Chain A
Amino acid sequence: MAEPAYTVASDSENTGEEKSSSSPSLPEIAVGIDIGTSQCSIAVWNGSQVHILRNTRNQKLIKSFVTFKDEVPAGGVSNQLSHEQEMLTGAAIFNMKRLIGRVDTDPVVHASKNLPFFVQTLDIGVRPFIAALVNNAWRSTTPEEVLAIFLVELRLMAETQLKRAVRNVVLTVPVSFSRFQLTRMERACAMAGLHVLRLMPEPTAIALLYAQQQQMTTHENMGSGSERLAVIFNIGAGYCDVAVTATAGGVSQIKSLAGNAIGGEDILQNTMRYIAPPNKEASGLLRVATQDAIHRLSSQENVQIEVDLGDGDMVSKVLDRLEFEEVNEKVFQECERLVVQCLRDARVESGDIDDVIMVGGCSCIPKVRAILKNVCKKDEIYKDVNPLEAAVRGAALEGAVTSGIHDPFGSLDLLTIQATALAVGVRANGNKFVPVIPRNTMVPARKDLFFTTVHDDQKEALIVVCEGEGETVEENHLLGFFKIVGIPPSQKGVPEINVCMDIDASNALRVFAAVLMPGSKSPVVPVVEVRMPTVDDGHGWCAQALNVKYGSTLDLITLQRKM
């Protein structure tokens, strides 16, 4: 047996320290990686343009999976499957982007339970049990480990082709990823020996590519370079993301973002359930046939599906587009909701939109295109991007820009001004989530809010930091918590507790808390500074545990503002 061609560093490797490492004299151009739920690609700026790397089978799009055979895992970069069905025997783990950083109470994890590999939940707020079938036994793993194995292969492939060490990367991530999930992505990269320069929400990578294209065309026409508003819609296998961007002179300012964990996987599962014979478990064969049928439905009005499931069970069915759209109505409704929300958050009327850009594997579904055309009141979809390559191209551009590469022709004279995809705030006013930095705030951002105590002589206060859009704490992602101590004895409502949140250019979130007493000009106890997130795996039950332990004794309410 050959030596495994990868090394995965320990999960506990510290990623925080590496960022400050001094930069070499010649800047290494960071590569862009688009880790998709089902497919993955890697690209780099080659000095004059973005070059997408190909694997040994000459593929630009590499299937994201890792097979565990004989205890030696192998990822989709080097590994060649004899047949697509091999991915469905239980030995291969895929869809990791759907599972990373999620606890076992998450509906997305539950929806993954009928995948061919093992996903078990205990519904107690810890990480789910994930395992691959190796020699008829379950070998447990984690989404981070699987991603790391895959990333190592990608790195080796890139290093061979670029003939240099590859360390710095720009990765695209879904808009709906919480900061906790982002740390898990960073962890997976660290395990693979990669240093993350930037985690870019997918549509913002596409926005950068679009900004470059716009700049090139205005250069050619010597135009004034007026601002163009574009809606970017990305739907892949696992996630749907929307962004509204205002672009001028190579600068893309993200006006708003919206996203959710819906995508091709949901469409596939809904359709499979619809065409499967009653009382028949979803099998690998059916999965492959359904996937194929969905692909064909993008160009045909109806498709014939014929599958022999064995044991005398046959599926023979004609599926037409209308049926398909009905079966997946909820997914399509959610797509529409996201676009509407994103436009509203950006305060953009559909008449003002210059371009509608659609990317991702599911963007060719006619219904999805119809929704976008209808909501944005456009007859045409932007044609100058490749829906499957746009994200990785954008990431590679960002990789070159953040590495400080200068292009004499101005092709890298680019900038993305990011916005926060989710609100960050604290628990206050009972069990409510009170945003301190609302979603779609321009980054870097710093905002603060004043709170006060709810009990007389309350000496301590619990700051529970969450991220999301829900009204109650439970509906949001918990990022961490800490206590402020030493509040001087006073009546409730008197101490002013200032909670300040700061998101810097590298998207790091820090939370500061200070206690002020009326009349005093400086904080009465030293300002507490905490970098978030602090929670580790298994954080799902933390909020509940805090509730049980402290109840409302350490609560806060917002300091009332007069009107």
Chain B
Amino acid sequence: MNKTKKLVASISKLLRRRTCYPSTFRCNPLATIAFNHLSRDSLQPCSAKPLAISVSGLRLSGRAFCSKRSSVCWNCGFSSEKAAFLFCDSCRSIQPVDDSVDYFQIFGLENKYELDAGSLEGKYKDWQKKLHPDLVHNKSKKERDYAAEQSAKVTEACRTLTKRLSRAMYIMKLNGININEEETLTDPELLMEIMELREAIAESKDSNALNQIRSQVQEKLKQWSDSFLEAFESQRFDEAVKCIQRMTYYERACEEIVKKL
């Protein structure tokens, strides 16, 4: 999922740039507010939020404001203190994408790796009931575009936070560390293990054997996820990156098993 994002020139990005409608955003009072807050915000480690890379310069100013702020509805001027102001409760219009809002804020969660993935689904559906492009059929082209972008962002947020691996990579990114998924492995022990695992998957004939491997792999995934949490919380980021690498391989093995099942 994230591999495409890594490539700076990936098409999705080029398109994103094309399909966003910055003109209205630029006229938005938000941008001015953002600058007022810049000095305070610059003290905080806001670096390298993932979506911000792909959009135009002025949008970057949007990301600079952090948790405490008020947002103003583009349509009715209603002012909201919500961290994730995606939708105006006053006039029911959808707001433009604000790249400073991270995935955790969308779901009203603290910026923590550990979370109850089951709780995301309900919140996700609540958002879609407000933001889904199907519901703004009769509204302006501008708002329909906002709907498309916001709804896609919420979907991506849900997808990212649901899975351990993508959540780990995302939280690292929020802390300014980008993970290179394609990095070659140097640890011979891990290489050996992966080769054996792949062989075992390739050789297993029936679904019972595969399911057995799968539960083993999932157990490992869980273990490394725990190690990641520990490393991340004590800010040992190099170690955290290693954990993510492991998780990546186990996740891929899982995918392979599911494909065969």
Contact = CB atoms under 8 A, between A and B. Distances in A.
Interface string B105-140: 000000000000000011001101100111111110
B138 A23 contact: yes
Given A248-B122, A521-B8, A197 B128 contact: no
A417 interface: yes
Contacts of A549: none
B178 interface: no
Contacts of B90: none
B151 interface: yes
Interface string B140-152: 0000000110011
Contacts of A448: 4, 10-12
Interface in B222-261: 249, 252, 261
Contacts of A415: 125, 128-129, 132, 134-135
B192 interface: no
Contacts of A516: 7, 9
Contact of B11 (A442, A506, A512, A562): A512
A561 interface: yes
A249 interface: yes
A163 to B, nearest CB: 22
Could you tell me the dominant secondary structure of chain B's interface residues? helix
A498 B138 contact: no
- Chain A's interface size range is 35 or more
Nearest to B133: A505
Contacts of A251: 125, 128-129
A561 B7 CA distance: 13
B175 interface: no
B129 A413 contact: yes
Contacts of A512: 11, 15
A402 interface: yes
Given A401-B134, A415-B132, A500 B122 contact: no
Interface residues of B, number: 36
Contacts of A523: 9, 11, 14
A284 B4 CA distance: 59
A455 interface: no
A75 interface: no
Nearest to A227: B121
B148 A500 contact: no
A27 B135 CA distance: 13
A444 interface: yes
B12 A401 contact: no
Contact of A442 (B14, B137, B155): B155
A446 B153 CA distance: 12
Contacts of A417: 125, 128, 132
A402 B134 contact: yes
Contacts of B11: 448, 498, 500, 512, 514, 523, 527
Contact of B133 (A344, A504, A520, A522): A504
A442 B158 CA distance: 12
B182 interface: yes
Contacts of B3: 561
B137 A402 contact: yes
B208 interface: no
B184 interface: yes
A197 B10 contact: no
Interface string A441-458: 010101110000000000
A403 B137 contact: yes
Contacts of B9: 516, 520-523
A197 B133 CA distance: 13
Contacts of A401: 134-135
Contacts of A23: 138
A299 B89 CA distance: 54
29 contacts: A227-B121, A246-B121, A248-B125, A249-B129, A401-B135, A402-B134, A404-B136, A404-B138, A413-B129, A415-B125, A415-B128, A417-B125, A417-B128, A417-B132, A444-B151, A444-B152, A446-B12, A446-B15, A446-B152, A447-B4, A504-B133, A505-B132, A505-B134, A522-B9, A522-B14, A527-B11, A561-B3, A561-B182, A563-B249
